[in-house]
Amino acid sequence: MSDRIVDAKVIVTCPGRNFVTLKLTTADGVTGLGDATLNGRELAVATYLQEYVCPLLLGRDPAQINDTWQYLYRGAYWRRGPVTMASIAAVDMALWDIKAKTAGMPLYQLLGGRARDGVTVYGHANGRDIPEVLDEVAAFLERGYKAVRVQVGIPGLGAVYGVSKDRTFYEPATGTDRPEETRWSTEAYLHFVPQLFAAVRDRFGFDFHLLHDAHHRLTPTEAAKFGKRIEEYDLFWLEDPTPAEAQDAFRIIKQHTTTPIAVGEVFNTIWDCHQLISERLIDFIRVTPVHAGGVSHVKRIVEFADLYGVRSGFHGATDMSPVCMAAAIHLDMSIANFGLQEYMHHTEETNAVFRHAYYFADGCLHPGDEPGLGVTLDEELAATFPYRRAYLPVNRLLDGTMFHW
């Protein structure tokens, strides 16, 4: 008789920021973890799992990963979207965790084995002004990073995306009663940021990958012009230059600039990026297991992307729990078209709740050799960090017009 799922539990905890985790347990006593964190809307996913998904999992064969994925996707009728796909993602990650533990091997071995020595990552150098950013870049290069993303405060503007109040951790979801409101000027941004790239290249040269996240804030024409303007600084990628609902808008950007484009952290199925990939409108796909249907669906997306020369660049911000980070690293280790992995440090409390086998060395993350994902969740400790509602900021233009955060 094959094994059966006998328990499906949703664990919400807030060790410095909110995380939602699904824990499955089989009759044979094997457990699996799945990240279900949707920053700013965590309880929507927790409820979707608790009310509609967990009851359906009890009694199912944990080995049937593909059938369970389709059962939850086609069976929902209301397909796609961040809440549904984060819920399916959590189940998928947990089932892969169980399968690899049952096989007695780290997940990447089941996904085709080691295809590289380690997973090259990028760190986040940010500061209120250019000198502060330069000091942060120096610190990352000192620590052996081969890739660094730079974000800077814009003169005349208050808080802007990517510049952390705390020098060590970046956590944008800070509004407990209501979202923090920020003000934005695209003109001020476009005028100032090329000076940041010039200063970075002047001081540190071109022997490391330089990245930047425009965070959905430009029009296609502004992005095309900006991409062309900064070609001399040879960015590894310019991220989210324009909102990605309109995939065909990226044709305008690609017609005018060779600055590589990375998009996808907000995507949740292959349908969100099918055109971007098949028309080679992007160079890196940024989907991540928790938001894009889990290990199974992210694997499908990156293998599709490989046909068109598009590489991976999985999202790895602090709102991806160590469970999602581990799943991403196992995929990074095994796929053919690996590009780069984002790596934002979690808080010490998070690392205590989610003990994990992956580790940083020589500018790379390494998965470790524990069976499965290599993550354990300390439920007792998790219970000491109760959920605390936290909104992502909203962003308005200087005249008050609602804009993109």
Residues 254-273 that bind ligand CS2 (CB under 6 A): 265
Which of ligand CS2, Mg ion, none interacts with 21 (beta carbon under 5 to 8 A by kind)? none
- Which positions ≥6 away from 310 have C-beta within 8 Å? 277, 280, 282, 283, 284, 285, 337
Residue 139 in contact with ligand CS2, rule: CB under 6 A: no
CB of 60 to Mg ion, least distance (A): 35
Residue 213 in contact with Mg ion, rule: CB under 5 A: yes
Identify whether the C-beta of residue 125 lies closer than 8 Å to the C-beta of residue 149. Answer: yes
Q: How many CB atoms lie within 10 A of CB 85?
A: 27
Cβ-based nearer residue to ligand CS2, 39 or 259: 39
Cβ-based nearer residue to ligand CS2, 68 or 321: 321
Catalytic site residue 315? no
Cβ-based nearer residue to ligand CS2, 198 or 392: 392
Catalytic residue (choose from 124, 209, 212, 215): 215
Binding mask 160-199 for ligand CS2 (x = CB under 6 A): ------------x---------------------------
Q: Candidates 20-28, 78-86, 222-230, 315-323 — which segment interacts with ligand CS2 by CB under 6 A?
A: 315-323
Which of ligand CS2, Mg ion, none interacts with 42 (beta carbon under 5 to 8 A by kind)? none
CA pseudo-torsion sign 25, 26, 29, 32 = negative
Residue 39 in contact with ligand CS2, rule: CB under 6 A: yes
CA-wise closest residue to 166 among 361, 356, 381, 16: 16
Which of Mg ion, ligand CS2, none interacts with 317 (beta carbon under 5 to 8 A by kind)? ligand CS2
Catalytic residue (choose from 108, 122, 145, 161): 161
Residue 97 in contact with ligand CS2, rule: CB under 6 A: no
Catalytic site residue 274? no
Q: Tell which one of 42, 92, 213, 332 touches ligand CS2 (CB under 6 A).
A: 213
CB of 21 to Mg ion, least distance (A): 23
Residue 342 in contact with ligand CS2, rule: CB under 6 A: yes
Binding mask 45-84 for ligand CS2 (x = CB under 6 A): ----------------------------------------
Which of Mg ion, ligand CS2, none interacts with 342 (beta carbon under 5 to 8 A by kind)? ligand CS2
CB of 267 to ligand CS2, least distance (A): 12
Q: How many CB atoms lie within 10 A of CB 303?
A: 12
Q: Candidates 242-250, 311-319, 322-330, 363-371 — which segment interacts with ligand CS2 by CB under 6 A?
A: 311-319
Identify whether the C-beta of residue 21 lies closer than 8 Å to the C-beta of residue 38. Answer: no
Residue 317 in contact with ligand CS2, rule: CB under 6 A: yes
CB of 319 to ligand CS2, least distance (A): 4
Residue 136 in contact with ligand CS2, rule: CB under 6 A: no
Question: Interface residues with Mg ion (CB under 5 A)?
Answer: 213
**Interface contacts to ligand CS2, rule CB under 6 A:** 39, 172, 213, 215, 239, 265, 315, 317, 319, 342, 392
- Any idea which residues carry the catalytic annotation? 161, 215
